[in-house]
Chain A
Amino acid sequence: QVQLVESGGGVVQPGTSLRLSCAASGFAFIDYAIHWVRQAPGKGLEWVALISYDGGIKYYVDSVKGRFTISRDNFKNTLFLQMNSLRPEDTAVYYCAKSRGSFPGYLDSWGQGTLVTVSS
């Protein structure tokens, strides 16, 4: 079955960087766009970024443009989110989610999430 496992979260200081990973299995990773979605403590879901199946198309929410970079390694079935210049408002659980349907697609499978805390 589809499995998405995020890793790389932790506690970091404002202005620093962190790289999240999402290891995928149970489906043809190379065929699907993948998203990052985050959820601040006690808050709702916020869509963060999207990468097409081949990595050629990327989109970001305005609040992370120029700071976050989404990428993927289709040989290793892994998605990444490089997060630079982190701010306290980036504190959240970060989920990777598999897309389905017409691009950009809806999210039919989600990982368990990894917590990022940005605090001094």
Chain B
Amino acid sequence: DIQMTQSPSSLSASVGDRVTITCRASQGVSNYLAWYQQSPGKVPSLLIYEASTLQSGVPSRFSGSGSGTDFTLTISSLQPEDVATYYCQKYNTAPGTFGQGTKVEIK
């Protein structure tokens, strides 16, 4: 099965900072890559699908890029409400493996 590895596992940044999270697949998944946000105590929600398409209602400061094995989630200007754990997931085939998550905090 394809493994998904995120880095870093956690990060702390200041409000307004640009934040980048990477996700690497052990084999190519084309652009079948989604990103989810899970705020503390909340249910996960979809941020990005097809590697770079923003889900309706998601602020434009979030963006995604990549294809094949290497993907990036970027928050262009970190806001307090972005404190959350972010997960990538590949969905080209089952199993729909998630990355281990990246916890984002405010410095």
Question: Is A61 within 8 A of B36, CB to CB?
Answer: no
> Shortest distance in angstroms between A34's beta carbon and chain B's nearest beta carbon?
12
B16 close to chain A: CB less than 8 A: no
Query: A112: which B residues are within 8 A, CB to CB?
Result: 43
Query: A35: which B residues are within 8 A, CB to CB?
Result: 96
Name the CB-closest residue of A to B49.
Answer: A106
Of the four ranges (under 10, 10 to 19, 20 to 34, 35 or more), the interface on chain A belongs to 20 to 34
Known contacts A101-B49, A106-B46, A110-B43; decide if A46 and B91 are in contact (CB<8 Å). Answer: no
Question: Is B44 within 8 A of A95, CB to CB?
Answer: yes
Name the CB-closest residue of B to A105.
Answer: B91
In the complex, how many residues of chain B place their beta carbon closer than 8 angstroms to a beta carbon of chain A?
A: 25
Interface pairs A-B: 6 shortest CB-CB: A59-B94, A106-B34, A44-B101, A47-B96, A45-B98, A106-B49
- B residues neighboring A (CB under 8 Å): 1, 32, 34, 36, 38, 43-46, 49-50, 55, 85, 87, 89, 91, 93-101
Majority secondary structure of chain A interface residues (helix, strand, loop or mixed): strand
Query: B85: which A residues are within 8 A, CB to CB?
Result: 44
Query: B36: which A residues are within 8 A, CB to CB?
Result: 45, 107
Name 11 interchain pairs, CB-CB below 8 A, sorted by A.
Answer: A44-B85, A44-B87, A45-B36, A45-B89, A45-B101, A47-B96, A50-B94, A95-B43, A100-B49, A104-B96, A106-B49
Query: A46: which B residues are within 8 A, CB to CB?
Result: 98
Q: What is the bound-complex CA distance between A95 and B43, given in angstroms?
A: 9
Majority secondary structure of chain B interface residues (helix, strand, loop or mixed): loop
Known contacts A44-B101, A111-B43; decide if A61 and B91 are in contact (CB<8 Å). Answer: no
Question: Is A108 within 8 A of B55, CB to CB?
Answer: yes
Name the CB-closest residue of B to A107.
Answer: B46
Q: What is the bound-complex CA distance between A95 and B44, given in angstroms?
A: 9
Question: Is A45 within 8 A of B44, CB to CB?
Answer: yes
Question: Is B46 within 8 A of A108, CB to CB?
Answer: yes
Query: A95: which B residues are within 8 A, CB to CB?
Result: 43-44
Query: B101: which A residues are within 8 A, CB to CB?
Result: 44-45
> Shortest distance in angstroms between B9's beta carbon and chain A's nearest beta carbon?
10
A102 close to chain B: CB less than 8 A: yes
> Shortest distance in angstroms between B32's beta carbon and chain A's nearest beta carbon?
7
